[in-house]
């Protein structure tokens, strides 16, 4: 029996357990509260323009799955959920930037918008050519006062070639008193660009939301569209998707582990992990035509099959990657200098993690354990018995350890899926259809959500959510009390997306 029982709850015909419900007036906050009381979490808040005015959606997780509640924003206003889920605050600010619907009494500073494009791009009446007054560059950061306190402004242009983001530190000496982030520099109007695309074209753009999570986003998009059209994919296609997603996870974790060593001045680690990763990417290129597996997961199934040769290559690769990773794990664990940098650095206690709704890999490293593949397994994970990697430390070392565990588990899953995978078709035709659909997939950072409103095969509104939304605010807490020089290492240990967040 469902532990959440609201009038009008409808289960979506989706691979993942997702319910939708109309939540007018009071029930909007009541439903969020009910999820929070169960120990649930907020995944995303977004807005849309409907025929009758603006509507806002909230996707919360409860014990059986996800509940997407829909509420109309009367006079462009809706009730804030930030007191129930602190991570809602930035999403609500983003709703205002994009759509103009606002929470009363909340932080009124812009979040995604830097005032360089006309306001409210997600409105149907939006005109990009419109004359508008660009906002000044003065974003009011919260300052700390006191003797010896000073500010360090970092970014958005960095000394290395990395994604842009601004970090404002308030420090005394080397010690960080406060960090405030300013993002939005990578905003490229993806959600607006998705509007008006044919439902199959949208898949290509969705695959490019965040290059490192291309399989996760493609799958979420495909799942949303399949839910909307009532198509189920073949068992073989499900397994193929699983294999591609796990490969993406392994490749990204390898890159992160190398980069973490490098950021601690141990460039030997970077060289070794990069070599393993590069070998994997080349196998992907050779057998599936793309190093990052872009456009491989498509609505209705997958575009590339695994033949006998590819199967042999992947099995051999699994064995060799496993062997190398185990050796490197030992080297990392035995390295005094490295462990000295990792241990107790950037600690997020489990209590704080739960309060902030820390999700994905970083959440699991702070004992805030949630992994879709174990909690709400959809095909093919329902046949795999995934064991979630967790750690209680909450520091950089814990996030390193979880990455190692997940690589090993993913290698096991890939082998298991190759064994279990039946023969069969790999893709099915999807007819043009209308409705609302959602896809929910565990990417390498955490849960990725993609929702679609489609009308006769044309996208009316699409929303993509990256787990970085939850974890960026937690990073601000993780650095407090650490020294400035350790920030890059802490930041790397979270490895959050700018591109997937700014959209």
Which is nearer to another protein, 155 or 473 (by Cβ)? 155
Nearer to another protein, 293 or 490 (CB): 490
| Paired tokens of 177 | 């008193």
Give the range of 78-86, 214-222, 271-279, 322-330 binding another protein by CB under 8 A: 271-279
Of the pair 130, 172, the CB lying nearest another protein is at 172
How far, in Å, CA of 234 to CA of 424, rounded? 7
Supply the minimum distance, in Å, between the C-beta of residue 335 and another protein: 6
Q: Is 343 in the site for another protein (CB under 8 A)?
A: no
Residues 191-230 that bind another protein (CB under 8 A): none
DSSP letters for 168-204: EEEEETTEEEEEEEE--TT---HHHHHTT-BHHHHHH
Q: Which stretch binds another protein (CB under 8 A): 28-36, 194-202, 338-346, 433-441?
A: 338-346
337 binds another protein (CB under 8 A): yes
Q: Would you give the binding string for another protein spanning residues 157-186, x where CB under 8 A is met?
A: -xxxxx-----------x------------
DSSP string, 107-126: --S-SS--SSS-S-TTSTT-
**Up-side HSE of residue 248: CA atoms within 13 Å toward CB?**
31
Position among 198, 271, 315, 319 found at the interface with another protein (CB under 8 A) = 271
Query: Which residue in the set 86, 118, 457, 488 belongs to the binding site for another protein (CB under 8 A)?
Result: 488
Asked if residue 141 binds another protein (CB under 8 A), the reply is no
The phi-psi region of residue 346 (left if phi > 0; otherwise alpha if psi is between -120 and 50; otherwise beta) is left
Element (H, E) at 61: strand 53-62
Backbone φ and ψ for 74, nearest 5 degrees, come out as: -70, 130
Closer to another protein by CB, 266 or 498: give it: 266
CA distances from 288 to 281, 310, 317, 425 (A): 10, 9, 15, 17
Does the protein bind another protein through residue 6 (CB under 8 A)?
no
498 binds another protein, rule: CB under 8 A: no
- 268 scored as a contact of another protein (CB under 8 A): yes
Contact with another protein (CB under 8 A) among 226, 295, 486, 502:
486
CA atoms within 13 A on the CB side of 481: 8
Residue 323 corresponds to which tokens in the numbers above?
């062997």
Residue 263 near another protein by CB under 8 A: yes
Does 320 contact another protein by CB under 8 A? no
Cβ proximity to another protein, 44 vs 482, nearer residue? 482
Q: 108, 167, 110, 168: which is closest to 144 by C-alpha?
A: 168
Measured in whole angstroms, how far is the alpha carbon of residue 362 from the centre of its chain?
Answer: 11
37 near another protein (CB under 8 A): no
Contact 484, 174 (CB under 8 A): yes
* Residue (341 or 463) nearer to another protein, CB: 341
What letters, b where the CB count within 10 A reaches 16 and e where it falls short, cover 456-491? eeebbbbbbbbbbbbbbbbbebbbeebebebbbbbb
* Region binding another protein by CB under 8 A among candidate stretches 12-20, 122-130, 153-161, 225-233: 153-161
The only residue of 3, 63, 267, 320 in contact with another protein, by rule CB under 8 A: 267
Size of interface with another protein, in residues (CB under 8 A):
33
| Distance of alpha carbon 240 from alpha carbon 231, whole angstroms | 17
Site membership for another protein, residue 483 (CB under 8 A): yes
- Does 149 sit near another protein (CB under 8 A)? no
Interface positions with another protein (CB under 8 A): 150-154, 158-162, 174, 261, 263-268, 271-272, 275, 335, 337-338, 340-341, 483-489
């Amino acid at each position: 029996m469902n532990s959440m029982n609201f009038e009008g709850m409808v289960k979506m015909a989706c691979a993942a357990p997702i319910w939708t419900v109309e939540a007018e007036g009071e029930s909007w906050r009541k439903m969020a509260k009910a999820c929070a009381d169960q120990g649930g979490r907020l995944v995303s808040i977004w807005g849309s323009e409907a025929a009758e005015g603006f509507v806002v959606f909230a996707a919360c997780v409860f014990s059986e799955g996800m509940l997407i509640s829909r509420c109309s924003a009367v006079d462009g206003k809706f009730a804030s959920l930030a007191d129930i889920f602190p991570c809602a605050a930035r999403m609500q600010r983003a709703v205002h930037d994009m759509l103009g619907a606002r929470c009363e009494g909340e932080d009124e500073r812009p979040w995604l918008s830097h005032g360089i494009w006309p306001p409210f791009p997600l409105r149907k009446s939006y005109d990009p050519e419109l004359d508008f007054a660009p906002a000044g560059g003065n974003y009011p950061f919260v300052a700390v006062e006191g003797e010896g306190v000073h500010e360090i402004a970092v970014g958005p242009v960095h000394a290395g070639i990395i994604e842009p983001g601004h970090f404002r530190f308030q420090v005394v000496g080397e010690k960080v008193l406060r960090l405030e982030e300013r993002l939005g520099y990578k905003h490229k109007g993806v959600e607006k660009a998705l509007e008006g695309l044919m439902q199959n074209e949208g898949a290509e753009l969705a695959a490019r939301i965040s290059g490192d999570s291309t399989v996760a986003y493609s799958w979420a998009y495909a799942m949303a569209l399949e839910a909307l059209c009532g198509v189920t994919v073949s068992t073989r296609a499900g397994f193929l998707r699983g294999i591609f997603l796990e490969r993406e996870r392994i490749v990204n974790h390898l890159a992160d582990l190398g980069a973490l060593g490098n950021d601690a001045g141990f460039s030997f680690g970077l060289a070794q992990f990069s070599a393993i990763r590069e070998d994997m990417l080349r196998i992907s290129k050779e057998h599936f035509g793309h190093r990052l597996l872009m456009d491989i997961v498509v609505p209705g199934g997958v575009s590339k099959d695994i033949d006998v040769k590819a199967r042999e290559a992947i099995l051999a690769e699994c064995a060799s990657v496993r062997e190398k990773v185990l050796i490197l794990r030992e080297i990392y664990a035995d390295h005094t200098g490295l462990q000295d940098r990792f241990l107790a650095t950037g600690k997020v206690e489990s209590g704080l993690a739960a309060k902030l709704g820390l999700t994905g890999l970083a959440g699991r490293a702070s004992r805030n354990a949630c992994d879709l593949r174990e909690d709400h397994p959809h095909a093919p994970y329902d046949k795999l018995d995934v064991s979630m990697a967790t750690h209680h430390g909450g520091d950089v070392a814990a996030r390193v350890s979880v990455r190692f565990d997940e690589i090993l588990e993913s290698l096991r899953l890939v082998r298991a899926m190759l064994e279990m995978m039946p023969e069969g078709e790999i893709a099915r035709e999807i007819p043009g259809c209308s409705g609302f659909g959602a896809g929910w997939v565990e990417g390498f950072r955490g849960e990725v959500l993609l929702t679609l409103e489609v009308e006769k095969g044309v996208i009316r509104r699409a929303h993509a959510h990256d787990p970085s939304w939850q974890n960026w605010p937690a990073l601000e807490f993780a650095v407090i009390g650490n020294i400035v020089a350790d920030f890059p290492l802490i930041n790397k240990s979270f490895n959050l997306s700018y591109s997937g967040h700014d959209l």
